[in-house]
Structure 1
């Protein structure tokens, strides 16, 4: 669907209000977390202002964030300005209006927090892109090996308990995969143990993202939770001992990556902290959200989609002689299903940027002027469910991106901090692991439907992401 030319749209003032200093931000925070909830918070303001672009305060607010005022973008047309680094600055806005202490990262600002204009950004991101490129041939075989153990664990628990909780086993699988990929050895070959490692990873994510979440506690505890999680930062020293263990492992075993970093002029210590952050926060954190979301939506879609996926996957694997990149490229439905899962439940909900200059943005109906220095915020789950771009936007439609017309919609899939049709470079802020994530999601579906005809899941919510519990898994009756 198309919008009117931006030059023909009326210029309107941005609606909305920040309220009284300090108190307005507190009110919006309580609305966001406790009175309304995230989606209702945005939906009620869209209805109130009759606009997908408006002003409000964004969490966490006082005393965590120095300035909670944002211009909100909630549609597919205005949202991409957040990817244009010629117009927005991405310095220290990776998680929002606040920045976690650099004590979590060895005293360094990580690549994710750097704007592309900063001298270290292209070097550090170039290192990450190079690291992934040199390991590309290992993505599929190492992941397939990790998945084999995942399926054994799920089947064992399903057999003994009648249900199998996917998330915990998926987290362990992800950690094992990442250790094998970047350190060239399984966790058992290091000082790390899988159970303790995933607990640390989860704590590492929680301590930095706590200002953005609520635990769903009884209402009587809301004020206490708000003070503990949203008012003051959680202390990094509580994780320091475990963090040192991970740093030691990567410093000892990821030597080829660190050697390359030194050849690029990056201090070995800084490179190692960036690698730990990339693996713990970016990669593990992304997998922790993305894989359960994928399995949830495919599981809830039902047997007919499962039958179609199994037929496509088994036919292509048989004709290609195995699970290869070339084989995956021929699976049009499988590719579409992965993109649809990333559209309907993106692993990163928020995008931020500070306006580098006075600019005019537009949505479907109007143009709006944003002043230099204003913080722009996009809530991706609304932008990627824009009803003026996607038909049945709230539904999971497995075939949505199949065919030429379907693939035209990929430019509106934004999960990676960029359009799906674009690729990460040293000059943008698109996720360096974007293509790896898409590939691994496809492989996960392929391995599922090579082994099983169908499966049934129960889905739930986490503070960040979804839970998935298998209640049945039917073994493949044909190959």
Structure 2
């Protein structure tokens, strides 16, 4: 029997507590608690309290209709969670979205790399292609993103100068992110293709149809049961977003012909490479960044003017000393780096991880060990893992300096947003995000460009399905 740690443990072996309830009624009850009665965090917190354990049995949405088996073993602490990164023990086949998988009709009939397990030969081939592609674009990251951010900041200022005197941050940064990613991967502007200026809308439409069973619309309580029936009984068919996806594919195929040529040289079918790259661009990259930047600005905004002043002072002094914005300059900004890691710790943009046990194994929490049987679905709720009070002091607080210095850097092993530890690197043989380092770089660079231009800002936010909806109320320009 495999274990979650190679070292001997003296922790007691316990049965996994929890209940799946009666067929149909148990999953339905858990689903309504999760979406409507308790909400995500309280759903798990109440069960931890009830069972006095952080490894429990429960049902996860969307079952019981769309999902054939909603039963999971939930890992709700920072120790047990990390077994999900051990690909020798956990199978990641078709579990990207959890206990259900959208039809491959959404991706041209292909099971794209994100849905493949590391034991599948095409996984290593496709991920090698991704990693090589990103490496080849390394010199473009900073200048290209800075150029797109100039357009973004001009847009925010124009909105603030308009009648409403406020700016929709999410929409603006979403457009900047899509344009950056498309230009990075293809070398061309999306406006020169069939995509035009509609890229973010096309991606959102395509993603919404796939992920609808995991979402709520925020409707008044009286509509909860109607909403639940409509979006979690029968999956939305791919034909409903066929035109949106077709535009994305045709736009990428025309602009990214040289990238697809390279895929063919590696032995990947051109059509398969195109669908995989559109998925990486739309689902992994654009879908992730559209959440990540609002989360970043939410927490930096909540840090207040004192944090803004500290960031501005560090950023401006280093840029002056280094004669510009460079990788070396970014690496010297210790507070800026720490703030980005702290944002990713306190509110990871992708809160869930799933996998199936390859064999009978033993998983450890802080207090006990538990046997998970071969084939059982394992679910990790990342916000509880990265806010584990036995690992992080003041775990529920945003601590800007948390990762500064040698002791702070040791904690990076428990920053898990990328489907792996922050201290590890993506490879063809693991499931860690291939753009992990790029995402961290872009978040740092966003703060650098922001605080070179502005001293502070005011904002509002409200929680929505995929991260906060941020509205900028004011930007105080810098005289720097």
Q: State the partner residue of 1:442.
A: 444
Q: State the partner residue of 2:157.
A: 155
Q: How does 1:26-425 map to 2 (within 5 A)?
A: 26-160=28-162, 161-194=164-197, 196-425=198-427
Paired with 1:248 and 1:215, the residues of 2 have a C-alpha distance of 31
TM-score normalised per structure 2? 0.97
Question: Aligned residues, how many?
Answer: 474
1:300–1:456 Cα contact (<8 Å) kept: no
1:43-100 superposed Cα distances (whole Å, 9 cap, x missing partner): 1000000111100011101211111110000100000100100000000001100000
Q: Which moved more, 1:204-213 or 1:352-361?
A: 204-213
2:205–2:244 Cα contact (<8 Å) kept: no
SS in 2 for 1:192: coil
Paired with 1:7 and 1:178, the residues of 2 have a C-alpha distance of 46
Q: Would the alpha carbon gap of residues 402 and 427 (structure 1) be closer, same or farther in structure 2, given more than 3 Å must change?
A: same
Measure how far apart 1:6 and its partner are. 6.1
SS in 2 for 1:71: strand
2:194–2:250 Cα contact (<8 Å) kept: no
Paired with 1:87 and 1:48, the residues of 2 have a C-alpha distance of 29
Unmatched 5+ residue regions in structure 1? Answer: none
1:6–1:367 Cα contact (<8 Å) kept: no
Paired with 2:461 and 2:246, the residues of 1 have a C-alpha distance of 35
Paired with 2:161 and 2:399, the residues of 1 have a C-alpha distance of 31
SS in 1 for 2:330: helix
Q: State the partner residue of 1:464.
A: 466
Runs of 4+ in 1 over 2 A off after TM superposition: none
1:180-208 superposed Cα distances (whole Å, 9 cap, x missing partner): 111211122222222x2211111111111
Paired with 2:217 and 2:240, the residues of 1 have a C-alpha distance of 20
Measure how far apart 1:243 and its partner are. 1.3
Paired with 2:383 and 2:235, the residues of 1 have a C-alpha distance of 26
Paired with 1:413 and 1:6, the residues of 2 have a C-alpha distance of 25
Q: State the partner residue of 1:17.
A: 19
TM-score normalised per structure 1? 0.97
Measure how far apart 1:256 and its partner are. 2.0
Paired with 1:257 and 1:116, the residues of 2 have a C-alpha distance of 24
Unmatched 5+ residue regions in structure 2? Answer: none
SS in 1 for 2:419: coil
Paired with 1:190 and 1:213, the residues of 2 have a C-alpha distance of 31
CA RMSD of aligned residues (A): 1.1
